[in-house]
Amino acid sequence: MTTTDISQMDDRMVVNAILLRNQKVTQQYLYIKCYPLFKSVYDNYYTDCQSCVEFINEIYVHLMTPRIDTGLCKLQTFQFGSTLTTWIKTVAVYYCYERYRRRQKVAFVEEKTEYADGISDRFEQAAASLYEDESDLSRQDLEVILAMMPNKRYSMIIRLHYVDCLTNEETAAALRMSMDNYYNKHRRAKIQFNEILRKESSYGKLF
CA 167/CA 197 separation, integer angstroms: 23
Same-domain check for residues 62 and 138: no
Question: Can you give the pLDDT at residue 141?
Answer: 65
Average pLDDT over every residue of 131-150: 61
Helix (H) / strand (E) containing 187: helix 179-201
Question: Can you give the pLDDT at residue 193?
Answer: 84
Q: How many CB atoms lie within 10 A of CB 95?
A: 20
With a pLDDT cut of 90, the percent of the chain lying above it is 28
Question: Can you give the pLDDT at residue 13?
Answer: 95
Which range is most confident: 6-10, 109-113, 118-122, 138-142? Answer: 6-10
Whole-Å CA distances, 71 to 20, 30, 39, 62, 95: 16, 23, 30, 14, 20
Question: Can you give the pLDDT at residue 115?
Answer: 45
- The per-residue pLDDT of the chain, averaged, comes to 78
Question: Can you give the pLDDT at residue 138?
Answer: 54
Domain count, the chain: 2
Place 204 in a pLDDT band, splitting at 50, 70 and 90.
very low
Same-domain check for residues 75 and 137: no
Same-domain check for residues 76 and 100: yes
Contact 168, 179 (CB under 8 A): yes
Same-domain check for residues 99 and 167: no
Give the domain-ending residue among 67, 89, 107: 107
Residue 4 phi, psi (nearest 5) = -115, 15
Question: Can you give the pLDDT at residue 142?
Answer: 72
Same-domain check for residues 143 and 80: no
Average pLDDT over every residue of 39-68: 89
Domain that holds residue 200: 117-207
Same-domain check for residues 127 and 69: no
Same-domain check for residues 129 and 95: no
Among 40, 46, 180, 144, residue whose Cα is nearest residue 100: 46
DSSP string for 84-122 = HHHHHHHHHHHHHHHHHHHHHHHHTHHHHHHHHHHHHHH
CA 24/CA 189 separation, integer angstroms: 43
Tell me if 112 is assigned to some domain: no
Average pLDDT over every residue of 52-73: 90
Average pLDDT over every residue of 141-145: 73
Q: Could you report the per-residue pLDDT of 172-182, keeping only the tens digit for each?
A: 888 888 988 88
Same-domain check for residues 102 and 135: no
Tell me if 87 is assigned to some domain: yes
Beta bridge partners of 73: 66
Place 69 in a pLDDT band, splitting at 50, 70 and 90.
confident
Give the domain-ending residue among 107, 135, 167: 107
Least confident of 78-87, 123-132, 183-192: 123-132
Same-domain check for residues 27 and 60: yes
Q: Could you report the per-residue pLDDT of 92-121, keeping only the tens digit for each?
A: 988 888 877 776 665 544 444 444 444 444
C-alpha 46: how far from its chain's center? 13
Same-domain check for residues 91 and 1: yes
Give the domain-ending residue among 107, 127, 154: 107
Same-domain check for residues 37 and 134: no
Tell me if 168 is assigned to some domain: yes
Q: Tell me, what CATH number does 197's domain have?
A: 1.10.10.10
Average pLDDT over every residue of 23-52: 91
Whole-Å CA distances, 66 to 43, 98, 99, 138, 203: 28, 18, 19, 21, 29
Same-domain check for residues 10 and 103: yes
